[in-house]
Amino acid sequence: MNILLVYPMYPDTFWSFKHALKFVSKKASFPPLGLLTVASMLPADWNKKLIDLNATRLEDDDILWADYAFISAMSIQSDSVDEIIQRCKKLNTKIVAGGPLFTSSSEYYDNVDHLILNEAEITLPQFLMDLEKGKPKQKYTSENWADIETTPLPLWGILTMNNYTSMNLQYSRGCPYDCDFCDITVLYGRKPRTKTKEQVIAELDILYFSGWRGPVFFVDDNFIGNKVKLKKEILPAIADWMEKRKNPFYLNTEASINLADDEQLMRLMVKAGFEAVFIGIESPNEESLVECNKTQNRNRDLISSVKKIQSAGLEVQGGFIVGFDNDPPSIFEMLTDFIQDSGIVTAMVGLLNAPKGTKLQKRLEKEGRMIKDFNGNNTDFSTNFIPRMDLKALLDGYQKILDKIYSPKYYYERVMRFMREFELKKKKAFHVNPNYILALLKSIIKLGVMGEERIYYWKLFFWSLFRKPQLFSLAILFTIYGFHFRKISGSSC
């Protein structure tokens, strides 16, 4: 059996880092971990080929070679999914599809031969058994949660690692919080399910022995959902492994703001090699946090919490949202000031949207305010419901935030604020990477010589080189990120 695993293309968005990738001569940020894991669940004697459209082209010969094309996707990839389905149909190759997009919107995909919905650990074996009997069904679903201690290692051997800036692994699924606008609990539940420390170490091992050195992203939606297990088992095991291997990886992940309340946890994360954490801060307006049930963010000094995490040695990347019913007209200035004061360099600001199945979507349906399904992109100046605030005022205010925080003056000011206060708590291992040297040279030419930000670029360049040389590579990375953010938002001086 010939199996083609196809990962659809991402549009040009904040998290695509498309404009930053050119500096490091890479094609995509992260590999399709879900498809690589599914590949491991298929019979070992089947022939498997992976095509990630973010890194390479899908040729007709690839589709004709395959007995089945397996597609996994998120909502933001829906346009690319439609094109892939059309091409497979035209060439009479059967399609097997799963992942968040198909699980949440299966009603739109009657043209797919086989839908493997919810979690593959449960539904894929059912499909494979029926396929062996010659009687596969069109749709497989389950209301149960998978035991991810049974999840196999991803099949890294079918991936060209050099196409990517970072590798990834998953330690847990689910989140203990239940924010109204988030569909994570809809897809994966509120009780965090975790892998064993042996599984985590095995995943690090396979990346290491495959030759990877550099960033590794733990893709958990809330890495600290089970703090006790992290502190007792997982982080000590990772720290021991990293020390034994001479720190080959730089780790980052996603967590909730209450990480700031646990100094031991932060200390253990840094010791294990974590350098950055993405946190959903959403809004500096308390009434908006109450509205969206963001309980973990309420009744706290959010900037102080961010500073605590930064002081522990973890860069904070932040997610922010405008468009809540309780947002006042001043929210745009409030949010801009918060981002500047916090020193959060990587600040992703999006418009509120209501994903399918969320409490927000159900409330807005009852109120007659839903317009369409969410396309997965909250930075494309669209919202899928009727906001309380005048739409033009909301869009104009949103654009003003982006123009300001990504403009060279304010962006570099924020970088400097962060770097003055930030200290690495763990010495980084030095790995010679020709792509990083090339990225430095490209940044000098494109940003330092030709860029509108050249004055700010050189000020940061020499300040970090002489005052904080251990952060020099991070400073250059920030200059490249800033270029990408301005391209995405259309911001300038």
Q: In this predicted model, what pLDDT tens digit does every residue of 157-193 receive, in sequence order? A: 999 999 999 999 999 999 999 999 999 999 999 999 9
Per-residue pLDDT for 17 more than 90?
no
Taking the CA atoms of the chain, what radius of gyration do you get in angstroms?
Answer: 23
CATH topology of domain 166-405: TIM Barrel (3.20.20)
**Block residue for tokens 């991402």:** 10
State how far the Cα of 306 lies from the Cα of 343, in Å rounded to an integer.
Answer: 9
Per-residue pLDDT for 492 more than 50?
no
CATH topology of domain 2-140: Rossmann fold (3.40.50)
Task: At 92, give phi and psi (nearest 5°).
Answer: 60, 35
| 493 pLDDT tier (thresholds 50, 70, 90) | very low
pTM of the model: 0.95
Helices 302-311/408-421 angle, 10° precision: 60
The DSSP annotation for 115-164 comes to EE-S-HHHHHHHHHHHHHHT---SEE--SSPP-GGGPPPP-GGGS-GGGB
Q: In this predicted model, what pLDDT tens digit does every residue of 27-45 receive, in sequence order? A: 999 999 999 999 999 999 9
Widest CA span of the chain, in angstroms? 68
Provide mean pLDDT across the span 455-467.
Answer: 97
Q: In this predicted model, what pLDDT tens digit does every residue of 361-378 receive, in sequence order? A: 999 999 999 999 998 887
Per-residue pLDDT for 456 more than 50?
yes
Provide mean pLDDT across the span 296-308.
Answer: 97
Q: What's the DSSP call for residue 373? A: -
The closest of 101, 99, 78, 81 to 89, measured between CA atoms, is 81
At residue 431, the pLDDT reads 62
State how far the Cα of 425 lies from the Cα of 272, in Å rounded to an integer.
Answer: 11
- Tell the burial category of 330 from Cβ atoms under 10 Å away from its Cβ (0-12, 13-18, 19+): exposed
At residue 16, the pLDDT reads 83
3-state SS assignment for residue 423: coil
Per-residue pLDDT for 438 more than 80?
yes
Q: In this predicted model, what pLDDT tens digit does every residue of 425-436 receive, in sequence order? A: 877 666 667 778
| 297 pLDDT tier (thresholds 50, 70, 90) | very high
Q: In this predicted model, what pLDDT tens digit does every residue of 79-103 receive, in sequence order? A: 999 999 999 999 999 999 999 999 9
